[in-house]
Amino acid sequence: MNAGRCDIILPTCGHGGLVRGCIESLIKHTKYPCRLIVIDNSCGGDISGLLEKYSRSGKLDMVLLKQKENIGWIRSINAGLDISKDSEYVCLQNDDTIFTEGWLEELVRVFEDDRKIGLANPEWHRPEDVDIDTFAAELKRFSGQVIDTDWCRGHCFFIRREVISKLGGLDTAYLPGYYDDRDYSLKAIAAGYRCVKAKAAFVEHLRNSTIMNVMEKEKVRDLMDRNGRTFYRRWGHPVRVAFVLRNKKGSGPILKEMCMDQNKVIVITDNAGEVPYEHTNMKVMALRRPFFNWKALFSILARPGKRQHKGVGFVFTDDPSFHALIAKFRGLIPADIVFETDMNRLSEKAARIVKNAKEAARGSI
């Protein structure tokens, strides 16, 4: 294995302006040893000539693989993986992205700190009123910190080599693309790896800029619907659950289990002390007392919708006073309410109930 190197696999399909911005930012902001593997999908325009210039420029270590036709995202990535056999890390990269200073060094750092991390994204949200370089610099204060996430987004998908050795490439059931990144993430999590976001790394994503150049909007929507059904038949829809807690200290294991199983979790608690787990799928609402119970009840009532998609499907609580209040409004709440003062018993019930709900819903997809 070529330790200390990352292969970056970059499929392209036209739009030379995007590709130029992506590669120029890579050259400018990447110090960690890397090799760029570009899959040129021959989508016309000036892109092929531009890529050939970069491959001869000497500005970066680059392999250019030219296709006779557009083979799509998944086949492009798998073609790149066939070339990339020995690098310690691999990054699957969209061409509608802009790199910022130290992005790759930070991703490597968090992988070196924790061997259980198998997949990672950089930060993917930027406030509209903050420019890209300023925002990236502000994130440096979080260096070395990660947060578990439900799945790694494919725009910048950083992978440890041993994960690829175990799982192989992207699943062609999702051709030509969409939901393949989610599926791969869940397979890695099932294999025992962590899937995280590195808080101090940032790569800007100009969302869907490439796909909209080569596919009509209606066809993109149809593709997402089709691949979504394939994905959810395999893994089940997320269940939205709320935990109204007094005993935050004992809640860590069940909150982690709920999030790792891809569910959407709301934790409602008072503002004394932190919840002992953090995940991108979990929102914590710290409400002040007095009137905590009424505020918590209103927060749940304000989330209407279908149980498996928008509304809260289950409310789990160990708080007797809150349970006494919510029981009076049971007819108004489109959710099942489960109460146990003992956190172990509450956790056991929550795990069993949510698992059964997901399995029942998956059978109807």
How large is the average pLDDT for residues 203-226? 80
Q: Under a CB-based contact definition with an 8 Å cutoff, are residues 279 and 265 in contact? A: yes
pLDDT digits (tens, 9 = 90+) for 301-315: 876 544 334 578 999
pLDDT at residue number 90: 98
pLDDT digits (tens, 9 = 90+) for 290-348: 899 999 999 888 765 443 345 789 999 999 999 999 999 888 888 999 999 999 999 99
How large is the average pLDDT for residues 69-79? 96
Coil, strand, or helix at residue 337? strand
pLDDT at residue number 214: 59
Phi then psi dihedrals of residue 119, to 5 deg: -135, 150
Residue 3's nearest CA partner among 68, 101, 71, 88 is: 88
pLDDT at residue number 353: 97
Task: Categorize the per-residue pLDDT at 211 as very low, low, confident or very high, splitting at 50, 70 and 90.
Answer: low
**Residue-range domains of the chain with CATH:** 2-233 (3.90.550.10), 240-362 (3.40.50)
The tally of CA atoms less than 13 A away on the side-chain side of residue 178 is 19
Residue 173's nearest CA partner among 234, 220, 94 is: 234
pLDDT at residue number 333: 84
pLDDT at residue number 271: 78
pLDDT at residue number 209: 57
Q: Under a CB-based contact definition with an 8 Å cutoff, are residues 110 and 120 in contact? A: yes
Q: How many CB atoms lie within 10 A of CB 4?
A: 11
Residue 241's nearest CA partner among 173, 326, 337 is: 337
Task: Categorize the per-residue pLDDT at 40 as very low, low, confident or very high, splitting at 50, 70 and 90.
Answer: very high
Task: Categorize the per-residue pLDDT at 195 as very low, low, confident or very high, splitting at 50, 70 and 90.
Answer: very high
pLDDT at residue number 142: 98
Task: Categorize the per-residue pLDDT at 242 as very low, low, confident or very high, splitting at 50, 70 and 90.
Answer: very high
pTM: 0.92
pLDDT at residue number 51: 95
pLDDT at residue number 308: 39
How large is the average pLDDT for residues 184-194? 97
* Cα 122-53-201 angle, rounded to 5 deg: 10
pLDDT at residue number 212: 53
pLDDT of 34 over the 70 cut: yes
